[in-house]
A and B are shown apart, each in its own frame.
Chain A
Amino acid sequence: MSLAFDDYGRPYIILRDQGQKKRMKGLEAYKSNILAAKAVANTLSSSLGPKGMDKMLVSPDGDVSVTNDGATIVEKMEIQHPTAKLLVELSQSQDAEIGDGTTGVVVLAGKLLEQALTLLDKGIHPLKISDGFDRACDVAIKHLETISEEIDIQANEHEALIQAACTALGSKVVSKRKRELGKIAVTAVLDVADLARRDVNLDLIKIQTKTGGSVEDTRLISGILIDKDMSHPQMPKEVNDARICLLTCPFEPPKPKTKHNINISSAEDYKKLYQQEQQYFVDMVKLVKASGANIALCQWGFDDEANHLLLQNELPAVRWVSGTDVELIAMATGARIIPRFQEITPEKLGKAGCVKEVQFGTSNERMLVIENCQCTKAVTILIRGGSQMIVDEAKRSIHDAICVIRNLIKDNRIVYGGGSAELACAIQVLQYADEVSSVEQYAIRSFADALEGIPCCLADNCGLNPITSVAQAKSRQLKENNPRIGIDCMELGTTDMKEQRIYETLSSKKQQIQLATQVVKMILKIDDVIAPDDY
């Protein structure tokens, strides 16, 4: 900690508890920040691409998860370093906005920082570097748009969508079944997509997991699966042509919010109260029954007596349905959520073809499936797998695939993967660099180098010689003027990504480059870190 002294040699105290704080300034701060961020990027870089490896993460409570998803890795690493945390947020914002490419964005940021470090050593001012990066980023984005292609998502039974989903799933543990899972994801998204508005409400796709079986057993249910069973063991397990009454009030005597006391002072009152109480249940069931409902789903619990009355009146019911499920069911079946028994009317009921209980494995676990809903706009993907870790990872992978498909429906422009798009941008940026006459030229050139880092990293992960393969691809791109030449990760014998059909969405790529540049600019602007000392 640097100190200021007055005329008598006594130190000025400028910050509170100055002695206990650690402070880094100038070049030292830049370097420390960059190294910390790079450390995170390095961890992720081996996860990139179809042959990328997974990370095993042990939570503070000892739970294990194995994942390939960048956003999940950095989130679960519990990163403490303030600058490294910026990269965590970077990955998460990519996840929130696009849902895919969370590893790529961090790796790109890492490569950019690496370049920035050498530039700093050359004595270039950080702000000049970030200016240069900014300009290079604009060029790269513009070029991305020119090389992007519009695809027809409808053609050939949505083949393009399936391919894009396969690209997203290719790097995950479920890659063996990527085609099947990709199809499931595409069907799910198309089922709920609003193609006129080119929008997809992902809330309508429920992803339910269940251990057991194998990843192949994953299937799409055109309806809703809820992890509940009938409230009374003797209620019918299957209701056909269901008219669903969706309640958010318990089958219990009412509990007014205002505090009140009922004072019983005589035996007569006592008896009256008893009768009143009995009447409540009878009335409740009668109201539901009268509306014509043949199944009741309730967000709250049932009193034993009410439960039995429901059974007696042949009204199957489900209790403790979670709030999100209630909303989903409402959307799918067209039911209105009814908060009070008095408000039940026949038109507020939802309709579904069939509600039934299904059983899994040897343990007595049952789930309810609501099929053929009136407004079929909700689907469930039931993920199976050999263990909890696989199922969790499959869930994250499918989520990525779904996001990619959604993005394609929103914007059907694609670029080709396998590092080809980055390489094409790098060439373009490099050309532009020579036109710039100021200091930024160096920064722009470095940006191009950083972009090349992505195909390098891909090749490295696939066990190819990174420098040879990138150099080859780059020279072919220039010679043939073909921006689709990339790295042949799967060793299929061709480097033309159009032939390999590796599709990535333009929006994801754009977002990756923009976000990474932004974060790097931000890190480059920090020249002073004041933090409480460790001890």
Chain B
Amino acid sequence: MDIVGNVLPQVLKDEATEDKGEMARLQSFVGAIAVADLVKTTLGPKGMDKILKPTGPGQEMTHITVTNDGATILKSMYVENPAAKILIEISKTQDEEVGDGTTTVAVLAGELLREGEKLIQKRIHPQHVIAGWRIARDVALKRLRDISSENDIESQEFHNDLVKIARTTLSSKLITQDRDYFADLCVKAVLRLKGSSNLDYIQIIKLPGGTIRDSYLDDGFILKKQITIGCKRRIENAKILVANTAMDYDKIKIYGTKVKVNSMDKVAEIEAAEKEKMKHKVDKILKYQPTVFVNRQLIYNYPEQLLADSGITVIEHADFEGMERVAAATGAEILSTFDAPERRDSVLGHCDLIEEIMIGEEKMIKFTGCKKNEACTIVLRGSSIHILDEVDRSIHDVLCVLTTTVKNRRVVWGGGNSEMQMAAACEEEAKKVQGKQALAIEAYARALRQIPTIICDNGGYDSAELIQNFNVELQKGNLTFGLNMNDGTIGDMQELGVKECMRVKEQAVMAASEAAELIMRVDDIVKCAPRKRDRA
């Protein structure tokens, strides 16, 4: 009913709902803050993990995930609240763009909205809040860029920076005990890429068994496949032909072809022709004189035997990714036709040694001394597949952060230092701004300061005291100070060697502000009637 008492006709579809004004705002705040609160306990070196259990029937649904990675948690959650979905979305984008800081971005957006809600309760118009946030964001980003430092990519300092960044990233993960070991491992792997950000070249193989400490970086390339029986298990100075071709039987590709014969003899003839066709293909392959033949597709017994007879080691069923990696690592071309043996030298890949190795219980093929030395493999060991999955995610985060750092090169001090400095910058700015926006700028500073506060809280320390002391140190001019979460004190980050990638922080601040602004601007939520699904 409207104000005059007229019955409003139904405008939207049945089951569709519309919330306006305060109700809409309340809904989005509640949703966004709930999501932020859910992941915030995972923040920082003393953050806790979450168990994710899928719902629904079926064998595969019983597989649980234990993780500390914000994006993984948020991605697997099923939420109905639209504002919560926006937070999940930014977390995903953060993951795709820089690979780390996925929890930070969601928590920061949530804290911004929490502050925003308070301002709205003080009857400040959302647009004023947004105006203030925009000023604050620019100030914060400027400060972030100002405090970041850059080292030359070839220098030893840069290398040290990378190790420190890797250590910082790992410190919040499951493998924090072995972070020095893994930091070193990841930095080595990333430096092999020589500035490219193609993480495809770094292969991660997970094998249950052993302890996490048994994980290692292999400078060769490991293919999780087996060498076909009857072939040589160790090939030195290998010439590798990588192919993507049908080696079961060649389908006739011309449309509408049917083989129709009228007698048994003819069947035999065709069969022979087919066999000969395959033989022909094998002959053509042999002209390239490879010593190893890797095919993406299945290889039938007959061609396999022909190849093995010629002393060629055959690897079949290498999947697309595996094949591309082999090709990239050994410098081979992926062939589908075999009519140009004269181009042999340029199409064959080369590596010093191929051998079958055993890792744990499994047989694998290792390529060492490849032509292009960019590829490498990280073999992860651990007592259970859940641990391995989590380690894999952590390593992925680290690799992403490291490649981002290699690209961007700017680093900042960790331990909440950058957030505190940004907050300080916002507060300074707030003093200069006239109008209600200043309140929003202060709120922005408070939200930024929440990040180190939560890190402290998660560690079980007295956050109020620590943050205050921290602030005092910064005021004194000790700009490299930060939280030392091992002892629960304030320490010099320079001594502790805690560094973070500037780009990750930058992206987190940008994305969180954008999302908070987006949610803040909403004053009306229309939910359409859910689509009716017929039960199959």
The answer to the question of A467 belonging to the interface, with a C-beta cut-off of 8 Å to chain B, is no
Q: Which residues of B contact A81 (CB under 8 A)?
A: 9-12
Q: A53-B522, A56-B24, A265-B261 are in contact. Are A212 and B134 (CB under 8 A)?
A: no
CA distance A60 to B14 in the complex (A): 12
Interface residues of A in 52-105 (CB under 8 A from B): 53-62, 64, 66, 68, 73, 76-81, 84
The answer to the question of B518 belonging to the interface, with a C-beta cut-off of 8 Å to chain A, is yes
Cβ B253 vs Cβ A56 within 8 A: no
Cβ A362 vs Cβ B524 within 8 A: no
- What 1/0 flags go to B246-285 for Cβ under 8 Å of A? 0000101111111111100010011011101100000000
Interface core residue of B270, B324, B512 (most chain A CB under 10 Å)? B270
Which one, A57, A60, A308, contacts B336 given CB within 8 A? A308
The answer to the question of A271 belonging to the interface, with a C-beta cut-off of 8 Å to chain B, is yes
- Segment with Cβ contacts to A, from B78-86, B162-170, B232-240, B443-451: B78-86
Q: Which residues of B contact A213 (CB under 8 A)?
A: 97, 507, 510
Interface size in chain A (residues, C-beta < 8 A): 88
Cβ B258 vs Cβ A263 within 8 A: yes
Cβ B515 vs Cβ A259 within 8 A: no
Q: Which residues of A contact B13 (CB under 8 A)?
A: 78-80
Cβ A309 vs Cβ B337 within 8 A: yes
Closest A residue, CB atoms, query B20: A43
- What 1/0 flags go to B4-20 for Cβ under 8 Å of A? 00101111111010101
Cβ A387 vs Cβ B97 within 8 A: no
Shortest distance from the beta carbon of B119 to any chain A beta carbon, whole Å: 14
Shortest distance from the beta carbon of B357 to any chain A beta carbon, whole Å: 26
Q: A35-B6, A274-B277, A303-B253 are in contact. Are A214 and B528 (CB under 8 A)?
A: no
- What 1/0 flags go to A134-173 for Cβ under 8 Å of B? 0000000000000000000000000000000000000001
Which one, A53, A57, A212, A277, contacts B97 given CB within 8 A? A212
Q: A35-B2, A56-B28, A274-B250 are in contact. Are A387 and B336 (CB under 8 A)?
A: no
Interface residues of A in 12-58 (CB under 8 A from B): 31-32, 35-36, 39-40, 43, 46, 51, 53-58
Cβ B93 vs Cβ A212 within 8 A: yes
Which one, B2, B89, B99, contacts A362 given CB within 8 A? B99
Cβ B528 vs Cβ A58 within 8 A: yes
Closest B residue, CB atoms, query A390: B514
- What 1/0 flags go to A473-508 for Cβ under 8 Å of B? 000000000000000000000000000000000000
Interface residues of B in 77-115 (CB under 8 A from A): 80, 82-83, 85-86, 89-90, 92-93, 95-99
CA distance A61 to B125 in the complex (A): 32
CA distance A386 to B91 in the complex (A): 9
Cβ A58 vs Cβ B82 within 8 A: yes
Q: Which residues of B contact A360 (CB under 8 A)?
A: 97
Which one, B11, B97, B253, contacts A36 given CB within 8 A? B11
Shortest distance from the beta carbon of A383 to any chain B beta carbon, whole Å: 13
CA distance A362 to B20 in the complex (A): 39
Interface residues of B in 271-311 (CB under 8 A from A): 272-274, 276-277
Which one, A35, A78, A311, contacts B528 given CB within 8 A? A78
Q: Which residues of B contact A233 (CB under 8 A)?
A: 324, 327-328, 334
- What 1/0 flags go to B388-418 for Cβ under 8 Å of A? 0000000000001001100000000000000
- What 1/0 flags go to A350-370 for Cβ under 8 Å of B? 000000000111111100000
- Segment with Cβ contacts to A, from B37-45, B193-201, B478-486: B193-201
Q: A55-B524, A308-B337 are in contact. Are A260 and B273 (CB under 8 A)?
A: no
Which one, A31, A57, A234, A305, contacts B526 given CB within 8 A? A57
Cβ A304 vs Cβ B86 within 8 A: no
Cβ A261 vs Cβ B524 within 8 A: no
Closest B residue, CB atoms, query A234: B333
Interface residues of A in 297-340 (CB under 8 A from B): 303-305, 307-309, 311-312
The answer to the question of B191 belonging to the interface, with a C-beta cut-off of 8 Å to chain A, is no
Q: Which residues of A contact B340 (CB under 8 A)?
A: 312
Shortest distance from the beta carbon of B165 to any chain A beta carbon, whole Å: 15
Q: Which residues of A contact B274 (CB under 8 A)?
A: 270
Which one, A73, A282, A361, contacts B96 given CB within 8 A? A361
Q: Which residues of A contact B93 (CB under 8 A)?
A: 211-212, 386-388
Shortest distance from the beta carbon of B128 to any chain A beta carbon, whole Å: 8
Interface residues of B in 199-236 (CB under 8 A from A): 199-200
The answer to the question of B493 belonging to the interface, with a C-beta cut-off of 8 Å to chain A, is no
Q: Which residues of B contact A173 (CB under 8 A)?
A: 514, 517-518, 521
CA distance A73 to B340 in the complex (A): 60
Interface residues of B in 521-536 (CB under 8 A from A): 521-531
Q: A60-B528, A267-B269, A305-B337 are in contact. Are A387 and B11 (CB under 8 A)?
A: no
Which one, A36, A54, A255, A262, contacts B9 given CB within 8 A? A36
Which one, B8, B256, B262, B524, contacts A265 given CB within 8 A? B262
- What 1/0 flags go to A263-279 for Cβ under 8 Å of B? 11111001101101110
The answer to the question of B463 belonging to the interface, with a C-beta cut-off of 8 Å to chain A, is no
Cβ B80 vs Cβ A62 within 8 A: yes
Cβ A55 vs Cβ B523 within 8 A: yes
CA distance A274 to B251 in the complex (A): 10
Closest A residue, CB atoms, query B335: A308
Cβ A361 vs Cβ B98 within 8 A: yes
Cβ A308 vs Cβ B270 within 8 A: no
The answer to the question of B511 belonging to the interface, with a C-beta cut-off of 8 Å to chain A, is yes
Q: Which residues of B contact A263 (CB under 8 A)?
A: 258-260
Q: Which residues of A contact B515 (CB under 8 A)?
A: 386-387, 390
The answer to the question of B127 belonging to the interface, with a C-beta cut-off of 8 Å to chain A, is yes
Q: Which residues of A contact B523 (CB under 8 A)?
A: 46, 53-55
Cβ A262 vs Cβ B334 within 8 A: no
CA distance A252 to B333 in the complex (A): 21
The answer to the question of A179 belonging to the interface, with a C-beta cut-off of 8 Å to chain B, is no
The answer to the question of A190 belonging to the interface, with a C-beta cut-off of 8 Å to chain B, is no
Which one, B125, B257, B258, B522, contacts A54 given CB within 8 A? B522
Q: A215-B514, A390-B518 are in contact. Are A304 and B245 (CB under 8 A)?
A: yes
Which one, B11, B97, B277, contacts A79 given CB within 8 A? B11
Shortest distance from the beta carbon of A46 to any chain B beta carbon, whole Å: 6
Q: Which residues of B contact A311 (CB under 8 A)?
A: 333-334
Which one, B11, B89, B97, B198, contacts A389 given CB within 8 A? B89
Cβ B327 vs Cβ A267 within 8 A: no
Which one, A55, A60, A265, contacts B260 given CB within 8 A? A265
Cβ B522 vs Cβ A56 within 8 A: yes
The answer to the question of A256 belonging to the interface, with a C-beta cut-off of 8 Å to chain B, is yes
The answer to the question of A346 belonging to the interface, with a C-beta cut-off of 8 Å to chain B, is no
CA distance A261 to B255 in the complex (A): 8
Q: A66-B518, A311-B333 are in contact. Are A387 and B261 (CB under 8 A)?
A: no
The answer to the question of B244 belonging to the interface, with a C-beta cut-off of 8 Å to chain A, is yes
Shortest distance from the beta carbon of B380 to any chain A beta carbon, whole Å: 19
Cβ B82 vs Cβ A56 within 8 A: yes
Which one, A46, A215, A305, contacts B524 given CB within 8 A? A46
Cβ B526 vs Cβ A211 within 8 A: no
The answer to the question of B343 belonging to the interface, with a C-beta cut-off of 8 Å to chain A, is yes
Cβ A60 vs Cβ B255 within 8 A: no
CA distance A437 to B48 in the complex (A): 80
Interfacial residues, chain A to chain B (CB-CB below 8 A): 31-32, 35-36, 39-40, 43, 46, 51, 53-62, 64, 66, 68, 73, 76-81, 84, 173, 176, 211-215, 232-234, 252-256, 259-267, 270-271, 273-274, 276-278, 280-282, 303-305, 307-309, 311-312, 359-365, 385-390, 393, 462-463
* 10 cross-chain pairs, A with B, having the tightest CB-CB distances, nearest first: A386-B511, A308-B336, A53-B523, A212-B97, A60-B531, A267-B269, A267-B273, A386-B514, A214-B510, A387-B89
Identify 9 new A-B residue pairs, CB closer than 8 A, beyond the known A282-B339, A390-B518.
A35-B9, A55-B522, A55-B524, A77-B526, A213-B97, A253-B253, A270-B270, A361-B98, A387-B89
Q: List 25 A-B contacts (CB under 8 A).
A: A39-B11, A46-B523, A53-B521, A55-B524, A56-B519, A60-B531, A62-B85, A64-B86, A78-B16, A80-B12, A173-B521, A214-B514, A234-B327, A256-B255, A262-B256, A263-B258, A266-B261, A267-B266, A270-B274, A308-B334, A311-B334, A312-B343, A362-B197, A362-B404, A387-B511
